[in-house]
Chain A
Amino acid sequence: MASKKKSYVWLSVLSLVVFIGIWYLACDVLKLTKASTLPGPVTVVGTFIDKLTQTAPDGATLFQHIGSSLQIAMSGWAMGVIIGTPLGIAMAWYKKIDLYARPLFDLIRPVPGLAWIPLMILLFGIGLTSKIVTVFLSAFVPCVLNSYTGIRQTKDVHLWVGQTFGASDFQMLMKIAVPTSLPLVMTGVRVALGASWTCIVAAEMLASTKGLGYMIQQARGIYRPDIIICGMITIGVIGALFSWLLTLVEKKVIKGVKR
């Protein structure tokens, strides 16, 4: 198996090399496309290095944009996790809460987080608050959904074991249902992070003076696709990085799974 896998690695490398090669030849060498439509990889890398230190044309260096986006995305995401996960757990465990809170949750659930951006801007102004609230909403929904489903996967037989040992309802929740739900809770946390990241980019494209979303939106206005591509790659890399970090945390937190 392993040896067979190895034999295809060259194909992967080849595919990347050909892709970048064609892009380079067409755009940087032969100049088949205008720089205002599709710049070549060399131009993009150049812009990337420039953007590390220069504030032009959008008023901030790449790191300042990253910092601004991260700050908002992380605060909104953390709030979504801290509020959404316990709510999902409570809804799944306590019938009363399920009966009364679930309908309200179902009401906001089909609205994508970013659709709230304009409303939040009107309510809270263009500052941090409106963006954090919007990011919170997009992180909140997957956290509730996944922890709810996770608790529902509790096995009857485990509850019976607890019950015959004389466990209280709360003990059964904490010692049986919550550990059962943990893998899905973590999935929710990871999905929420992706949603937060998407949402902050959208919010910054619509109303902001800083951040990666703002940077690429501004670059569009002045026909600088090289900056747009830099921004997109940065957004992608940071997103992938966080999702990878969370997978590491997941492996630490979730015990007893065969790997």
Chain B
Amino acid sequence: MSETIVKVNHMTKKFGDLLVLNDVSFDVRRGEFLCIVGPTGCGKTTFLNCITKLYEPTSGEILINDKPVDLKQDNIAYIFQEYSTMSWLTVEQNVAFGLEIKKKPKDFIKKEVDEVLEMVGLTKYRDYYPSELSTSMLQRVVIARAFAVKPQLLLMDEPYGQLDVDLRFRLEDELLNLWRQTGTTVIFITHNIEEAVYLSQNILVLTNKPTTIKARLENTLPFPRNVTSPEFIKIRSEVTDLIKWW
């Protein structure tokens, strides 16, 4: 097993004549928490969708464990911006969804689901349907569904973008806990600089269309981080300066 899990080589994506991603290259280390920040509408989502083959890149390649992406083999989970719980499944069945798709044995699924429900604190709500839960609970269901498959790579596309601040802080802390407990590699997309600095070990700053990588910053602040500490604010303004396009 190599140290690098994801390797993106000269990836370019065009929609017709519109150049969205221009020659993007970077690596992600195993177990790393990488945040990608950039102005709204800069092609961050396109970028993740290329990794998961929801779009085919126009040129360049993406390697996972030195091989081209194969969603049936590579264990990837993706948390989308939209609410993606399935209304016809209970919390428990929603969380088991990925494992069911991967055709794991019944008792194995039961065990994994119990474990992950406990981790996100949804055990009490296992038989509820999504329509009976609050937004924060729904977000936890989605996160539990992702962690249930023990992904080697977790992609998150502005998962907390529509939540209020208080709830976002809580879920961010929960996410960090899960990340540390499981050692999953996370690529987290956001336009919120504070969120990026709070969560990440590395920050990739993207420019506006056509998107290229403007900078890669290492963020070595110790966890748990304090958003009001001078070190935090320093990194935050550094990223902010990079992102300004006016």
- Answer whether A and B touch in the complex at a CB cut-off of 8 Å: yes
List the interface of chain A (C-beta within 8 A of B). 155, 157-158, 160-168, 171, 175-176, 179-180, 182, 254-258
- Contact between chains at A171 and B80 (CB < 8 Å): no
On chain A, the residues within 8 Å of B97 by CB distance are 161, 165, 175
- Contact between chains at B78 and A161 (CB < 8 Å): yes
Shortest Cβ distance from B83 into A: residue: A157
List the interface of chain B (C-beta within 8 A of A). 52-54, 71-74, 76-78, 80, 82-84, 86-90, 97-98, 100-102, 129-132, 145, 149, 155
Give, as a whole number of angstroms, the nearest-CB distance from A151 to chain B: 14
- Contact between chains at B71 and A163 (CB < 8 Å): yes
- Contact between chains at A161 and B84 (CB < 8 Å): yes
On chain A, the residues within 8 Å of B82 by CB distance are 155, 157
Partner of B101, one of A155, A157, A165, A257: A165
Give, as a whole number of angstroms, the nearest-CB distance from A249 to chain B: 16
Q: How far is the CA of A254 from the CA of B131 in the complex (A)?
A: 13
* Number of A-B pairs, beta carbon distance below 8 Å: 74
- Contact between chains at B101 and A256 (CB < 8 Å): no
Q: How far is the CA of A109 from the CA of B72 in the complex (A)?
A: 41
On chain B, the residues within 8 Å of A175 by CB distance are 97, 100-101
Partner of A164, one of B71, B73, B83, B132: B71
Q: How far is the CA of A257 from the CA of B129 in the complex (A)?
A: 8
On chain A, the residues within 8 Å of B88 by CB distance are 179-180, 182, 254-256
On chain B, the residues within 8 Å of A176 by CB distance are 86
Q: Is the interface of B mostly helix, strand, loop or mixed?
A: loop
On chain B, the residues within 8 Å of A254 by CB distance are 88
- Contact between chains at B86 and A164 (CB < 8 Å): no
On chain B, the residues within 8 Å of A257 by CB distance are 87, 129, 131
On chain B, the residues within 8 Å of A163 by CB distance are 52-54, 71
- Contact between chains at A256 and B131 (CB < 8 Å): yes
A165-B149, A176-B86 known; A256+B80 contact, CB < 8 A? no
Q: Is the interface of A mostly helix, strand, loop or mixed?
A: helix
- Contact between chains at B98 and A256 (CB < 8 Å): no
Q: How far is the CA of A160 from the CA of B48 in the complex (A)?
A: 12
Q: How far is the CA of A155 from the CA of B88 in the complex (A)?
A: 13
The 8 closest A-B pairs by CB, nearest first: A256-B129, A164-B78, A166-B72, A258-B131, A166-B71, A165-B98, A165-B101, A157-B82
Give, as a whole number of angstroms, the nearest-CB distance from B104 to chain A: 11
On chain A, the residues within 8 Å of B131 by CB distance are 256-258
Most chain B CB neighbours (cut-off 10 Å) among A157, A168, A254, A258: A157
- Contact between chains at A160 and B98 (CB < 8 Å): no
A158-B84, A158-B86, A255-B88 known; A164+B100 contact, CB < 8 A? no
Q: How far is the CA of A175 from the CA of B98 in the complex (A)?
A: 11
Q: How far is the CA of A158 from the CA of B78 in the complex (A)?
A: 11
Shortest Cβ distance from A256 into B: residue: B129
Q: How far is the CA of A176 from the CA of B86 in the complex (A)?
A: 8
A-B contacts besides A163-B54, A165-B101, A255-B129, 13 pairs, CB < 8 Å: A161-B84, A164-B71, A164-B78, A165-B76, A166-B71, A166-B72, A166-B102, A167-B101, A175-B97, A179-B89, A256-B88, A256-B90, A257-B87
- Contact between chains at A166 and B101 (CB < 8 Å): yes
- Contact between chains at A157 and B76 (CB < 8 Å): no
Q: How far is the CA of A3 from the CA of B98 in the complex (A)?
A: 49
On chain B, the residues within 8 Å of A155 by CB distance are 82, 84
Shortest Cβ distance from A253 into B: residue: B88
On chain A, the residues within 8 Å of B101 by CB distance are 162, 165-167, 171, 175
